[in-house]
Amino acid sequence: MRPILLSGHERALTQVKFSKEGDFIFSVSKDHVVCAWYSANGERFGTYHGHQGALWTVDVNPTTTLLATGGADSTMRLWDVKTGKLLKTWDYLTSIKRVEFSEDGKQLLGVTEKRTGQLSNIYVYDIINDVDAEQTSEPSLHIVVDELPRVTVAGFSYLNKYIITGHEDGSIAQWDAKTGEMLNNVYSHEDGMLVSDLQWSADRTYFITSSKDKTAKLHDTNTLEVLKTYVADTPLNSAAITPDPQQYVILGGGQAAMDVTTTSARQGKFEARFYHKIFEEEVGRVRGHFGPLNYVAVDPTGKCYCSGGEDGYVRVHHFDPPYFDFKYEVERERERGKF
């Protein structure tokens, strides 16, 4: 496969997201600009201007009409995907580390950073899926995370039932998305190792978390039970689950940016790692970035994946036949009807 290199950013990428149909890629970086790309050929569709600080996070709603971003200028913004018009700005006291639309696109959550005496907050807004509508300024739910350490990642479960958060100390928490009550809290990653990413399976009944403890773990949404563990040899920044029928997870990471200059690309382990989702075994790697991979995202239709790196590039990879054909012997046997 020939990767397509998207070089619209001048600084390190922080997050990349696919639209639901996989035709668009949205990327944010520390250079204040949001870029939208066509995934098929790497053509840039446009840019969204307005943020005054580094951007940490981006998400698009299921209909690819609204785009939410959050960054170090302590604002969360809502954009019209088509025209690039800024529709709404929510102001906070600290920067926004994570935004995510719910499965149905009717709710949007934002996570503020714990800093300068401020606690981590989770804000949930009801969103009207209409670019001309006036969006609300009042959160429908506001959770102040005072008992747990800083929230790094968060997301909506299936049917907006729970909000799952990942924390600085490696713990995962489950909250009721209606009342804001904390339901469960588990320490699945090594103590003190930050949870760097949380991504959902297609039906949001399970999710994968990556951590600086060099592992990624598959969790059950209801019980927070660890279903699978994928062990890597480098701190992980991101983990993604490929949609069915392919059974992979893709992990991205690498040494921290500050250590990069002293190591070569190979030693730096700047590769996307493919693990078999069920057998927890590494099956391959994809090289290319000159810095750690800050985010990996998979096309919801399963045809490609992209990674955003510290080197300022987004690399889009359209999978080749071997990716689709690969199966373990037991999988083949099951297909032949032996089991």
Q: Is 244 a residue that touches other proteins (CB under 8 A)?
A: no
**267 to 178, 212, 232, 254: CA distances (angstroms):** 46, 17, 14, 9
Q: Collapse the DSSP code of 8 into the 3-class scheme (helix H, G, I; strand E, B; otherwise coil) and give the result.
A: coil
Find the shortest distance in angstroms from Cβ 315 to other proteins.
7
**137 to 52, 74, 134, 145: CA distances (angstroms):** 20, 15, 9, 21
Spatial separation of the C-alpha atoms in residues 34 and 297, rounded to whole Å: 16
Number of amino acids touching other proteins (CB under 8 A): 49
CB count within 10 Å of CB 183 equals 13
* Pattern 58-77, other proteins, x by CB under 8 A: -----xx-------------
Q: Is 115 a residue that touches other proteins (CB under 8 A)?
A: no
Residues within window 247-276 making contact with other proteins, judged by CB under 8 A: 248, 274, 276
Residue number with CB closer to other proteins (115 or 287): 287
**191 to 172, 186, 195, 198, 311: CA distances (angstroms):** 11, 11, 10, 17, 29
Residue number with CB closer to other proteins (226 or 283): 283
Find the shortest distance in angstroms from Cβ 94 to other proteins.
27
Please identify which residue in 52, 83, 137, 179 interacts with other proteins, judged by CB under 8 A. Answer: 83
Spatial separation of the C-alpha atoms in residues 320 and 318, rounded to whole Å: 7
Q: Is 283 a residue that touches other proteins (CB under 8 A)?
A: yes
* Pattern 295-334, other proteins, x by CB under 8 A: --------------------x-x-xx-xx--x-x------
Find the shortest distance in angstroms from Cβ 278 to other proteins.
12
Residues within window 16-35 making contact with other proteins, judged by CB under 8 A: 21, 23-24, 33
Find the shortest distance in angstroms from Cβ 97 to other proteins.
24
Instruction: Give burial (CB, 10 Å; 0-12/13-18/19+) of 45.
Output: middle
Place of tokens 């807004």: 125
How big is the chain, counted in residues? 339
**Which among 297, 202, 336 is positioned nearest to 6, based on CA atoms?**
297
Please identify which residue in 164, 286, 304, 306 interacts with other proteins, judged by CB under 8 A. Answer: 286
CB count within 10 Å of CB 170 equals 23
Residues forming contacts to other proteins in the complex (CB under 8 A) are 1-8, 21, 23-24, 33, 36-38, 41-49, 63-64, 82-84, 233, 248, 274, 276, 281-288, 315, 317, 319-320, 322-323, 326, 328
